[in-house]
Structure 1
Amino acid sequence: MKIGRHFALLSVGVVDGHGGPPRLDQAVVVRDGRIAAVLPMADYRTDDSIQEVPLDGHYVMPGMIDAHVHLSGGRATIDDQELGVIAEPKILRAMRSVYEAQQLLKRGFTTARDVSWNGLYLKRVFFEQKLPGPKVIACGPGLSRTGGHADLFQFTPDYVRENGVWGIMADGTDEIIKSVRYLLREGADAIKIFVSGGDNWPHDRNGDVHYSMDELRTCVEEAHRQTGTMVMAHAENRTAIEMAVDAGCDTIEHGEDIDEALAAKMARNGTILVPTLQLIVNWYRDFVPLGGPVAPKVRPDAFLYRDLYDDHDEEFGHAYSSQAVTSFQTAKAAGVKIALGSDTVYEPLTRYGEYSALEFRALVEYGMTTSEAITAATVTSAEAVGMSRLLGSVEPGKLADLLVLRRDPTEDPMVLYDAENIHLTFCDGKLTVIDGLLAW
């Protein structure tokens, strides 16, 4: 199948991303990579300059956006985790990241906000359109304090600086300013900061706050100094979440400790929540197995006598998962904007593309309607990554990042979870994927 730069998708149901049922028997006209018109077939007129693509019985919706991924190129299991990732050559990881981004594309995600070194350069490769891939909204590595969430203390600081993929160490306001400016120099579209720990290592328990308010405000001020740059805040405990909101961070990542008062503040401020539900709710099943103390061979522990004898049993895991679900539902009830983000980190633990689709399913499982989840994955995620003027909906003037589906995606979350329902994928109006195969 060959489709040129000017075409019309005819007799389709349109799911525009703003909610509600499909508008049936529509024509979507695309010229030079942008949506030129969306109109009923009764109003459509044949134009010799337009290639007509009859698609009776199909549906068109915006390409989905994963607002939180790590195109790290790493490969690790539960036993070695990040240690295995950082031990491999950077060039190997960079090459693998191309495959990772393309797997997202095959599952209907035409844009991804990435936190890794690789994304800074993947965005340039895919923009050249020599290789098919999604739009990469690049953060580069997130700002982490020494000993923080993205620091791997089993390696020397110099080795981590040279070979780490998710973090750049920045302590104090001067280092934060320098790091933000350096990332912007490298082409970062957004800045991530690890405001809390994340339970990866003994130094970074998710109940700890890792930056002072001065440091956090400095990060936001410096990022926002360059117009259009957004700040995403890894924040897992209530204190860290509220600090990030008060400092002016644009999105809260994970945020599994939100109560009604904090949700109301987020809604007033327009702060977007990226809850990464699939990962957080299943953290003690997929990442840190339950059943007693953490064994040193799994998590080499610098603070053996501080935490080693704390039991993490089934009851503990259930309470943690339940809190994440309650936090998400509290935020939703308060009117907090919610975007889709999978936090895909490396295979085989989180398979690229599949994990993003699992996050879509999780949004519905824990409280959204399927139509609301589509809005989260399109309109709101476009806002979360700073691209709402160009992406996220099927309407004139937007870039033609489009999915053509065999079934109505609003009827059941499994429609979008099942990649076989995705017939065609367009990026900037260019046919990119046909039935799961890259088209160019």
Structure 2
Amino acid sequence: MGLGQATFERSGAALRVENVRLIDGVSDDVVDDAVLESDADGWITYAGPAAQAPEAHPDVRVIDGRGGTLLPGLFDCHTHLGLPSDRSLVETALLTDPVLATLRTAERLSRTLASGITSVRDLGGLPAAFRDAVATGLVAGPRVQTSVGVISHTGGHADDTLPGGRSLGLDYCELADDVPGVRKAARRMLRSGADVIKICTSGGISSAHDDPDDQDLLDEEITAVVDEARRHGGRPVAAHAQGRAGILAAIRGGVRSVEHGFGIDDEGCDLIGEKGAFLVPTLSAVFQPLDPRTTTPWRYQKKLRWNELAKENLAEAIARKVRIAAGTDAGITPHGQNLFELSCLVELGMSPMEAIRAATSAGARLLGVEDTLGTLRTGYAADLVLCASDPLRDIGVLSAPENIALVAQQGVIHRLALPPAEPRAAGRNGPHAGARP
């Protein structure tokens, strides 16, 4: 089940949001005094200037946006919602009761949604049942596409064997060491309900046995996984690829997206353009400080080496207009602060509008749902985020969840935290000082 098939088993209501500036997620244009309306099924029927808006129907729920900025529901294209960001993987795997782990994952889904992320692509550690629970309204959370697990080789980035030889027993990590092995691993992921297949084509900063410069899966193994995914519903493949060798191997092999891409160079940028792939740079992880007192020496040394290199290379990729979709690596980085990624993109050279598009229409294209999500236009799903101030003036306002005043998915409101209304005279759309059922 992909994002486009997600439905909510909750009754909707026609919705009208007034007194907002509107960013549609596609164009450079901003409508300074805008209205958005959706019908009872959660589809946008109007989004544009207030002067041209239809009169509000008596049964519509009207929300006064208090002069805030209305955006499409935002995408995080690289999360690990099944993993905590506030405790070690060892503690999580060995010491956490499974029931408690499930409840914590549900809480992370809810917190991520409240931060303005209405759609995610989870790339390891999130069972497909959470996707289905969100889709049926059992759990509040972003719409989900999940890889369920990660495919790597023995000693590679997803090998959960500890330095002493003991395995953490992470059931979402699949190790395969030849072409038949990776085909079987991909089939197991698909059997488990994967929407996207996640592979490792390079080592990683956070893995003990390898380095980002190492190539993980072989070229022929990458091609085999891409073929398996293609033959089963045309599913995409995402590649953990930090170093140059892994990046180039992944793109040559036909993956849909390069995750991290810290060592990307001109050849990698050119290949992404030729193949029509995406780069998901997970800059939140690059900008996240690492305390040497609370991490292993080998991880700290790798991060020291790669952080500045990643910033330099990814800034060049941004300058070259490589297709970028926003993703945070949440689980490694904090959950519920996902939109800090946009500030990082701006720091490395994107305009605020470009960063917003990376988290809206570009994310929708990467996930294959651009016909229904990622923009505020007539006929699209009413996935909405209202920011209390203007992110084009200061993109950092999106990073603080308290600035997110409204979150809705297909017209269903999940968060409504508007500031008190300022008294104002009745305008052409009526005296709506706040939300009205």
Equivalent residue number for residue 389 of structure 1: 371
- Cα deviation for residue 53 of structure 1 reads 3.0
| Aligned 1:76-155 pairs, distance under 5 A | 77=87, 81-87=88-94, 88-154=96-162
CA distance in 1, matches of 2:136, 2:256: 29
- Is 1:434 matched with 2:434? no
Equivalent residue number for residue 331 of structure 1: 317
Q: Which of residues 64, 71, 78 is equivalent to 1:61?
A: 71
- Cα deviation for residue 130 of structure 1 reads 2.9
Could you list the runs of 5+ residues in structure 1 that have no partner in the other structure?
300-310
DSSP 3-state at the match of 1:193: strand
Q: Which of residues 219, 229, 247 is equivalent to 1:241?
A: 247
| Aligned 1:396-415 pairs, distance under 5 A | 396-415=378-397
- Is 1:367 matched with 2:349? yes
DSSP 3-state at the match of 1:65: strand
Contact 1:195 1:234 in 2 (8 A): yes
- Is 1:12 matched with 2:29? no
Contact 2:205 2:211 in 1 (8 A): yes
- Is 1:39 matched with 2:48? yes
Equivalent residue number for residue 402 of structure 2: 420
DSSP 3-state at the match of 2:34: strand
Q: Spell out, residue by residue over 1:7-55, the C-alpha distance to the aligned partner (whole angstroms, 9 max, x if none).
A: 2212321101124252122221111122122132222222345333333
Contact 1:266 1:336 in 2 (8 A): yes
DSSP 3-state at the match of 1:395: coil
Contact 1:191 1:230 in 2 (8 A): yes
Q: Would the alpha carbon gap of residues 434 and 208 (structure 1) be closer, same or farther in structure 2, given more than 3 Å must change?
A: same
- Cα deviation for residue 220 of structure 1 reads 0.7
Q: Where do 4+ consecutive residues of structure 1 move more than 6 Å?
A: 155-158
Q: Would the alpha carbon gap of residues 159 and 216 (structure 1) be closer, same or farther in structure 2, given more than 3 Å must change?
A: same
- Cα deviation for residue 385 of structure 1 reads 2.4
| Aligned 1:265-280 pairs, distance under 5 A | 265-280=271-286
Q: Would the alpha carbon gap of residues 391 and 157 (structure 1) be closer, same or farther in structure 2, given more than 3 Å must change?
A: farther
CA distance in 2, matches of 1:166, 1:39: 45
Q: Which of residues 292, 304, 307 is equivalent to 1:321?
A: 307
**Code of the aligned partner of 1:98:** A
**Code of the aligned partner of 1:137:** Q
- Cα deviation for residue 419 of structure 1 reads 2.1
**Code of the aligned partner of 1:352:** H
Contact 1:149 1:198 in 2 (8 A): yes
Equivalent residue number for residue 8 of structure 2: none
CA distance in 1, matches of 2:98, 2:176: 21
Q: Would the alpha carbon gap of residues 132 and 195 (structure 1) be closer, same or farther in structure 2, given more than 3 Å must change?
A: same
CA distance in 2, matches of 1:401, 1:117: 25
Q: Would the alpha carbon gap of residues 173 and 259 (structure 1) be closer, same or farther in structure 2, given more than 3 Å must change?
A: same
Equivalent residue number for residue 294 of structure 1: 297
- Is 1:353 matched with 2:336? yes
Contact 2:223 2:254 in 1 (8 A): yes
TM-score, length of structure 1 as denominator length: 0.85
Q: In terms of mean alpha carbon deviation, does 44-53 or 31-40 score higher?
A: 44-53
CA distance in 2, matches of 1:288, 1:152: 22
Q: Would the alpha carbon gap of residues 228 and 416 (structure 1) be closer, same or farther in structure 2, given more than 3 Å must change?
A: farther
Q: CA RMSD in A?
A: 2.8
DSSP 3-state at the match of 2:386: strand
Q: Spell out, residue by residue over 1:140-164, the C-alpha distance to the aligned partner (whole angstroms, 9 max, x if none).
A: 111111222122213999965xx41
Could you list the runs of 5+ residues in structure 2 that have no partner in the other structure?
1-10, 419-434
Sequence identity percentage: 29
Q: Spell out, residue by residue over 1:299-330, the C-alpha distance to the aligned partner (whole angstroms, 9 max, x if none).
A: 8xxxxxxxxxxx94xxx866522210121122
- Is 1:29 matched with 2:37? yes
Contact 1:19 1:372 in 2 (8 A): no
DSSP 3-state at the match of 1:286: coil
CA distance in 2, matches of 1:193, 1:418: 32
DSSP 3-state at the match of 2:109: helix
**Code of the aligned partner of 1:86:** A
Q: In terms of mean alpha carbon deviation, does 45-54 or 267-276 score higher?
A: 45-54
DSSP 3-state at the match of 1:420: helix
Q: Spell out, residue by residue over 1:61-112, the C-alpha distance to the aligned partner (whole angstroms, 9 max, x if none).
A: 11111111111244664xxx32222213443322211111111111111111
TM-score, length of structure 2 as denominator length: 0.85
Q: Would the alpha carbon gap of residues 41 and 341 (structure 1) be closer, same or farther in structure 2, given more than 3 Å must change?
A: same
Contact 2:340 2:396 in 1 (8 A): no
- Is 1:264 matched with 2:264? no
Contact 1:73 1:100 in 2 (8 A): no
